[in-house]
């Protein structure tokens, strides 16, 4: 899964997904053996020679300028996330450098304070590979109440949200439109893989998901790219029933992201979250723990 093959696969896949009628290319009623645009048609739309585009798609040209890449992105009708992804793949091709070990991810004290302040708002801290580095009480209750609340503290047991979405029955049942959530997870992992092309742990995760989930393998081959920033999801929580949440990703520079789930004011979903807060607070008291929303703390580095 090197950058070279990813770039070629991405161009070929997206070209095959673009129909001639989508971009005004006349076909004169001819029957085509393969779906999508032909290489020469895409090259014409991008304003480059067919031979040059063919070399680029086959991985034989490593000199594509930013202007050429933008022209190809325009011809493929890529959105902003997909355009950045294309540039990331091309940059990996040009550099061809051996990757260094990724720096360990840490949860800063500022992020811990944020989790604490978001008392009744479900919040989790995700690393670049979707590992759960920390969560507050409500984050644990909403997204993974069936797991040990202290799991993020133990690297060997640290949950991974991508694995949960594809391999965990509880999480799969949690989302009414599971396919939508699953595609968002895959699209985000595509972006990360382009930005971290030499991350061995990331590639191990992708290999495990591909081997254990045919649905993941199919979605990964589709080459859809999506930045998971804001998205609405209908959920079916086993304790409080149906609710609709807006999941928002708060980016913290190069550090881990904080994902929060909010609900509309004075809605049934807001009432469901309040009920969940009461239930988890009561369970914490019965277990002898403080009812406060103290987040779990993960001091062990994640490499």
Q: What is the mean pLDDT of residues 44-50?
A: 92
Do 126 and 18 share a domain, yes or no?
no
Residue 294 lies in a domain: no
Contacting residues for 136 by C-beta, under 8 A, at least 6 apart: 115, 116, 118, 119, 121, 122, 123, 124, 293, 294, 295
Give the domain extent around 231. 109-286
Single out the residue in 70, 95, 120 at which a domain terminates: 95
Average pLDDT, the chain: 85
Q: Which residues are within 8 A (CB) of 295 and not within 5 positions of it... i.e. 6 or more apart? A: 112, 115, 116, 123, 134, 135, 136, 137, 139
Q: Are 258 and 111 in contact (CB under 8 A)?
A: yes
- 175 and 44 assigned to the same domain: no
Q: Is the pLDDT of residue 278 over 60?
A: yes
* Residues 65, 28 within the same domain: yes
Beta bridge partners of residue 97, listed in sequence order:
none
Cβ count near 204 (within 10 Å): 11
Task: Please tell me whether residues 78 and 144 are part of one structural domain.
Answer: no
- Same domain for 82 and 114, yes or no, is no
Q: Is residue 104 part of a domain?
A: no
Q: How confident is the model at residue 78 (pLDDT cuts 50, 70, 90)?
A: very high
Distances (CA, A) of 54 to 18, 38, 41, 60: 17, 10, 11, 8
Is a pLDDT exceeding 60 seen at residue 165?
yes
Report the CATH number that the domain containing residue 17 is assigned in CATH.
Answer: 1.10.260.40
- The pLDDT of residue 299 is 39
Q: Is residue 212 part of a domain?
A: yes
Contacts 24+ apart (CB under 8 A), 246-255: 252/108, 252/111, 255/105, 255/106, 255/108, 255/111
Q: How many domains does the chain have?
A: 2
Q: Which residue, among 82, 79, 121, has the nearest Cα to 258 in the 3D structure?
A: 121
Tokens standing for residue 162: 């991508």
239 plus 208 within the same structural domain: yes
Lowest mean per-residue pLDDT among 114-118, 123-127, 229-233, 286-290: 286-290
pLDDT at res. 243: 96
Look at residue 270 and tell me whether its pLDDT is greater than 90: yes
> Can you tell me the mean pLDDT for 201-223?
94
CATH code assigned at 141: 3.30.450.180
């Amino acid at each position: 899964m090197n950058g070279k093959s990813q770039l070629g696969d991405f161009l070929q896949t997206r070209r095959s997904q673009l129909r001639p009628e989508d971009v005004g290319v006349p076909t004169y009623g001819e029957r085509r053996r393969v779906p999508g645009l032909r290489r020469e048609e895409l090259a014409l739309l991008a304003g480059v020679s067919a031979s040059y585009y063919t070399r680029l798609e086959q991985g034989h040209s490593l000199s594509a300028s930013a202007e050429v890449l933008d022209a190809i992105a325009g011809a493929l009708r890529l959105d902003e996330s997909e355009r950045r992804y294309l540039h990331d793949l091309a940059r990996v091709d040009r550099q061809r450098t051996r990757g260094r070990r990724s720096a360990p991810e840490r949860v800063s004290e500022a992020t811990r304070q944020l989790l604490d302040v978001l008392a009744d708002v479900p919040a989790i801290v995700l690393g670049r590979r979707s590992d759960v580095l920390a969560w507050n009480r409500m984050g644990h209750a909403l997204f993974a109440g069936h797991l040990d609340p202290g799991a993020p503290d133990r690297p060997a047991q640290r949950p991974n949200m991508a694995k949960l979405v594809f391999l965990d029955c509880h999480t799969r049942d949690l989302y009414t439109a599971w396919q939508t959530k699953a595609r968002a997870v895959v699209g985000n992992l595509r972006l990360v893989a382009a930005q971290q092309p030499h991350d061995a742990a990331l590639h191990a995760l992708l290999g495990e998901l591909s081997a254990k989930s045919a649905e993941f393998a199919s979605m990964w081959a589709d080459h859809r790219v999506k930045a998971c920033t804001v998205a609405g999801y209908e959920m079916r929580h086993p304790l409080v029933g149906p609710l609709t949440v807006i999941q928002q990703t708060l980016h913290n520079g190069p550090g881990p992201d904080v994902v929060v789930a909010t609900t509309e004011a004075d809605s049934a979903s807001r009432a469901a979250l309040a009920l969940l807060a009461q239930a988890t607070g009561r369970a914490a008291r019965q277990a002898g723990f403080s009812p406060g929303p103290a987040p779990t703390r993960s001091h062990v580095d994640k490499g």
